[in-house]
Amino acid sequence: MGAEAIVVDRLEDVGIALKKAIDMQMNEGKTCVIEVMCTRELGDPFRRDALAKPVRFLEKYKDYV
């Protein structure tokens, strides 16, 4: 598709990658995709409950599961 790509393996490199991507867009007119490799350190706190059954607190919604 013509976009540039930056792969980030370490948490401390995210800021550098963002600055580089912004520089490429603003100064060179190139679109950039940043791929961030997440470890459990980064991935766990986000939505652990995403696949859990929802809890309905209002009686009128008890049948919607």
Best CA proximity match to 30, nearest among 42, 38, 22, 40: 22
Tell me the two tokens of residue 36.
């961030």
Domain count, the chain: 1
Q: Which range of residues forms the domain containing residue 17?
A: 4-61
The tens digit of pLDDT for each residue in 8-29 reads 998 899 999 999 999 999 999 9
Phi, psi (rounded to 5 degrees) for 61: -105, 5
Q: Are 43 and 11 in contact (CB under 8 A)?
A: no
The tens digit of pLDDT for each residue in 24-55 reads 999 999 999 999 987 665 555 556 667 777 78
